Amino acid sequence: MFRRVLIANRGAIACRIIPTLRALGVSPIAVYADADRFSRHVAMADQAVRLGPSPASESYLRQDAILEAARATGAEAIHPGYGFLSENAGFADACDRAGIVFLGPTGDQMRALGLKHTARDIARQQGAPLLVGTDLLTDEAHALDEAERCGYPVMLKSTAGGGGIGMRICRTPQELEDGFAAVMRMGAANFGHGGVYLERYVEKARHIEVQIFGDGRGGVLSLGERDCSAQRRNQKVIEETPAPGLSDAVRRRMFATATQIAAAINYRSAGTVEFLYDADREDFFFLEVNTRLQVEHGVTEAVTGIDLVEWMVRLGAGDLPPLETLRVEPNGAAIQVRIYAEDPAHDFRPSTGMLTDVAFPADVRCDTWVEAGTEISPFYDPMLAKIIVKADDRAEAVTRLGTALAEVRCAGLETNLDYLRQVVATSAFVEGGFSTSVLKGVSYRPRAIEVVDPGVQTTVQDHPGRVGFWHVGVPPSGPMDSLAFRLANRLVGNSDDAAALECTMIGPTLRFHAATVIALTGADMNARLDGRPLARWQAMPVRAGAELQMG
């Protein structure tokens, strides 16, 4: 077994890998950029090495800096996690040249399966069912000709990368022309490869993937499937196993296809073979291979009882028993949701700032890197945590997931937490077996008030506020006009001590995302609701989307 392993990543995956290494008696080595110098994975590791400034291109994507950190700390192996360099064939090759074990597939295997168009060729040679599609396209004219052959709608896809980046649905020739250059640029900017190709787009499809593990000598195990159909803009939001409504016959065929593709190139380590599933016809088609550990690997671990990171480390150290002795049978059902620092009310734009209050349920698995006081920067993926529930069956897992999400707190910035709560409560999710378009039917409206303009000296107060602390240097607080404050609360049916806004100079402009009742008391601030004067000293209903302006 290794003595030291360097983790070439950050965030939740780095924090996930460290305990496994410790359990194996391996010393974990962390790397970090300036924005992460106080992150949890840095504090958890035995050693931590600075890579450089905050931008990923100057830190987590610097192969030379990571290899130098491994040499300086005596690390014998590098675990890439997911994202960043995890599917970079050149980095895997560089590790081999440096005499450092790369805990993942070989560079040649990444080149063969990591690029979607070459993966399609391998899948075709192995007899895997494929959607009507193309090889790499040379230009827009070529794309237009091939789209006519495939039949609209088509999916324009970058051959490199993953995470839903570099994919665009084109329903007309004009949409294909408009998107061609953009998808090429996106692939080149994010993954260093601008190649694109086309596949016929299936309107009502499900996204199902098979977790595989190979020994590098032709032996490959299938460790069950995951349904990843709950997607927003081709980015997975919720993943579960087993896939609802999948027959045993289809499941066996899918497993056999996945292992055959991987075995054809003597695949090594963990990976995922992804399929598009047509539930109406009970048929599936090969999509791509992810030559790395997936964000959603935890649901597979939950139902199999194995630790995929441990398998990756043991395989790299030559300490993994023969695969035929490691066969496992999944048991029960597991579901994962991803909590992101993003604002669903504003097209899911990323949020930054400090988390002031963080709490996760103690009775479910939570892969996270954040805690109260964590600063969320704009430099990296905004994922904060993954909540994974396990139960005897899917119905119980759905119930446990709803309970767990109700207990989560992530305050201080906008997150998708309320959005997730709404999604898992929909009838479509509860029933299961939905297509990849299911989230388009979720009309999210938060129970929130948006501050469009803060005005001057508007504060959140409660009654009586903070009193009795002057003698130790803490100033008092509370409403200046306590009578008007309490009367406003009584008008809308609140208790006297409920929090409210007190305006003292220039009032704010507020937008209401949910219908509610408000009351204005105190001095006249020329309040207008949707441009109309608003009466004071009475309860007033407010519709969702209304805007309140105070002068």
Using one digit for the tens of pLDDT, what is the confidence trace for 307-326?
999 999 999 999 999 999 99
In our burial notation (b when 16+ CB lie closer than 10 A, e otherwise), range 226-247 reads: bbbbbbbebebbbbbbbbbebe
The string of pLDDT tens digits covering residues 445-462 is 888 999 999 999 999 999
pLDDT tens-place string over residues 113-165 = 988 788 989 999 999 999 888 888 989 899 999 999 988 999 898 887 665 67
Average pLDDT over residues 60-88: 97
Instruction: Return the pLDDT at 95.
Output: 98
Compute the residue count for the chain. 551
Q: Compute the average pLDDT of residues 259-284.
A: 94
Percent of the chain's residues with pLDDT above 70:
98
Residue 199: the pLDDT is 85
Indicate the pLDDT class of residue 472, thresholds 50, 70 and 90: low
Token pair recorded at residue 315: 């395989």
DSSP conformation letters of 340-384: ESEEGGGTTEE--EE--EEE--TTSEEEE---TT-EE-SSS--EE
Q: What is the DSSP letter of 249?
A: H
pLDDT tens digits, one per residue of 23-51: 999 999 999 999 999 999 999 999 999 99
Could you give the 3-state DSSP secondary structure of residue 22? helix
Name the band, by pLDDT with cuts 50, 70 and 90, for residue 280.
confident
How would residue 443 be classed by pLDDT, with cut points 50, 70 and 90? confident
Look at residue 349 in the predicted model and tell me its pLDDT. Answer: 93
**Judging by DSSP bridges, how do beta strands 528-529 and 547-549 pair with one another?**
antiparallel
Q: Annotate 395-412 with b (16+ C-beta within 10 A) or e (fewer).
A: eebbebbbebbeebebeb
> What pTM value is reported for the model?
0.86
Peptide bond into 153 cis (omega under 30): yes
Structure tokens at 51: 């890579």
- Strands 235-241 and 196-200 turn out to be unpaired
How is residue 202 written in tokens?
């299936």
The token duo for 473 is 């240097």
DSSP secondary structure of 405-448: HHH-EEESS--SHHHHHHHHTSHHHHH----TTGGGG-----S-
* pLDDT of 419 over the 90 cut: yes
pLDDT of amino acid 166: 82
Convert 148-183 to b/e letters by CB count within 10 Å (16 or more is b): eebeebbbbbbbbbbbebbbbebeeeebbeebbeeb
pLDDT band for 488, please (50, 70, 90 cuts).
very high
Q: CA-to-CA distance for 43 and 47, rounded, in angstroms?
A: 9
Residues 6+ apart with CB under 8 A from 325: none
The tens digit of pLDDT for each residue in 505-540 reads: 899 999 999 999 999 999 999 999 999 999 999 999
The percent of residues above 90 in pLDDT, for the chain, comes to 80
